[in-house]
Amino acid sequence: MKLTTSIVTYITERKELKKCIDSMLADGIDHVYISDNSPSDDLRSFCEGLSNVEYFFNGKNLGYGGGHNAAIRKAIA
């Protein structure tokens, strides 16, 4: 069985995001979706270099639940 998770970000520091992603992947998560609610897509280039991570920019702040719902839609598409 494959495990997928999502992280909702809003003006998130790369160092903290990397620690979170590394921890999830070390615990057996197969794929991480980054749902970015920030006003700009500054994390895009950072996330593109990471294995098993899919970044997408929402273009606006969807809120915590809305960000996860967007990730779920991507995961099941």
pLDDT tens string 37-58: 999 999 999 999 999 999 999 9
Calculate mean pLDDT across residues 29-43.
97
Full domain range(s) for residue 72: 4-76
Q: Which residues lie closer than 8 Å to 6 by C-beta, 6 or more apart?
A: 32, 33, 34, 35, 67, 68, 71, 72, 75
Total structural domains within the chain: 1
Pair type for strands 31-36 and 53-57: parallel
Q: Output the pTM of the full model.
A: 0.93
